[in-house]
Structure 1
Amino acid sequence: MKANCWMGRNTVEVQEVPDPTILNAHDAVVRVTSTAICGSDLHLYDGYIPTMKKGDILGHEFMGEVVEVGPEVRELRVGDRVVVPFPIACGACGACQHGMYSVCENSNPNAGMAEKLMGHSPAGIFGYSHMLGGYPGGQAEYARVPFADVGPIKIEDDLPDDQVLFLSDILPTGWMGAEMCDIKPGDVIAVWGAGPVGQFAIASAFLMGAERVIAIDRFPYRLRKAERAGAETLDYEKVDVLDALRDMTAGRGPDACIDAVGMEAHHPAGVVHAYDRAKQATRMETDRPHALREAIMSCRNGGVVSVIGVYGGLIDKFPMGSLMNRSLTLRSGQCHVQRYLKPLLGRIRNGDIDPSFVISHRMRLQDAPRAFEMFKNKEDECNKIVLTP
């Protein structure tokens, strides 16, 4: 089969690789019909996530048709159409029983590698380094899906791929980011990053009852999308964000702040940005946390900072004094996607949200190298690319 493979920093190639097979009685094999490039894939592409190996198959946002099931699979049948969540979860461990699927205790066969960096291991993730399981991803014609009775959700044929594909990751991630804010009627929510995850966080915050949402980004086409969703916007290259947020909230600050940016945050100028770039380039710091710092400093006293942007390791100049002295609550996590699949599928079916609005480009799987360059460099107002095998 054809698959998009990581070949080194800033290099991917579509190659012929062996077809996946059933390795465990609880596996399924899915013929991929749609797959997408996620912003967190760029962290792999840019070389900031360790333990990648040449030839690893990328992709953790995919859906398709079941073509084979293991003998212990009970919920799926050949021919079922499914969306596959990006975290791989067993469904039986303590974490899964508490709905915390992205920290499943059994799905990462390389847990020891993750423990060296993180203390404890999160769940395995499709196409996201050997530290997180070494599982081949879904930017391919076929994919093996472990624990097939726990992850995939069946989709009726009346809903097109474009409407349901993002149940695999970014729609539940944006929803969880807003949910962690404990939104109450009248709340003001600030969202750093108006890319696809940030756009879903904005939509989710409004659905949960936020009175105002303020989106912070620098790309005009992203800010226009946020405005169409009802958000107020700030271009951080043109204003001082902390001052602007104080002015917009009568000096109080947003009730909650969502970091939908993560480890490659950008800042237009200044000593701190140069410091972060230098430390990251020399691997003395793995992540650039400018958006996170700004979210913490901006949030009102007693508010919530919700972190759904991906971080990979260590950051410097973290404003712990602000967090502690002002009674802020910091919440974070890779999304527990399985927890949200049925409720969000219901909202799509009810017409509360049509996730396809984030798609800007559709391309063939064999064009993945070009697609990655477009997405990274924001060419042609690239917002979200869906690949078709």
Structure 2
Amino acid sequence: MDLPPASAPVRRRPPTNKAVLAAAEVFIRQYATENPDDGDLRRRLAEVTAEVESSGTYEHTPGELAFGARVAWRNAARCIGRLYWNNLIVRDLRHVTHSDDIASECFEHLRIATNAGRIRPVISVFAPDRPRRPAASLLSEQLVRYADDPRSATRTALARNLGWKGGETPFEVLPLLIQPGPGLGLTPEFYEAPEDTVLEVPLAHPSHPGFADLGLRWYAVPAVSDMSLEIGGVTYPAAPFSGWYMGTEIGSRNLADSDRYNLLPAVAELFDLDTRNERTLWRDRALVELNLAVLHSYDQAGVTIADHHTESRRFLAHVDRERRHGRPVPTDWSWIVPPLSGGATAVFHRYYDPEDPDLRPAFIHRPQGQCPQPGSTA
């Protein structure tokens, strides 16, 4: 779906006081259950009720915000890497509202997450929506994307319409796109990433020197930025969050999908595979070589990356731990099973708790019309 014109009003319908109160009570009780030493539940419920009845919303405490962001990751049915949900670094940036400052903090997010290659999971939470005062949002799908990626075509066109002059060379980083308060008639703004914020890994193969001649590379930190964070009836439309890559996200999806970089034919030619017949399994063999190159290159560069077999076992450890705590583990099987050798991984022959679209806290795609609705966050 195309982005709306810069001048098009985009409105987010605020929830009613009754709906906010209901969601708030569920969340505050959950917080109290999992954090029994942090405050008096009855008093906190009374405070929240008074705030909502007075203003239509309420303000989370720093502890509630951090807990809500971490539980949103815990509830993310499409994420295989949830074992470390409670280690998420939460940056409370609710006071940051101007586009220039939001961009600056997004770039700082990348610096903190990159950590010289030892990638850390981070979320930066900016101002929430308030009744009749929608907050700024990020139009970029991720804080880092490439302009020549077919998936980025709409954002690349928008950036150029706004005055960006780049995008002429392979693997050129798109600028960050920020929409000031939707519905106010304000034009989106773009910000080019400083050089020290984007760590990239040139791709090479451990046994084929010619692979490096393909000129491929990918970035270190996948930071999703086109989703809103919902906690207890409060929506944070700008809340970019990041972990580290699983190799297949790059090797099997970003670089191999036919509607992305579509590199399997080039890799097959490089390895002299017989592509005349599907029964030679040339696609499968090329896919393995491409994924091997990704893992090898990140390891050589000292950049954190997970392989799909190890991450599958970690996910099952997460499932077991959560069930010992009596908590469901909502799971989208089609996303948890890796796109390479799925049947050989530990997550394949299992049943899981179904995905619950109403489970909160959560990261949610924004209503149609505010931004493109991607089908993947790879």
Structure 2-normalised TM-score?
0.29
The structure that is helix-richer by fraction is 2
Instruction: Give 1 or 2 for the bigger CA radius of gyration.
Output: 2
More strand per residue: 1 or 2? Answer: 1
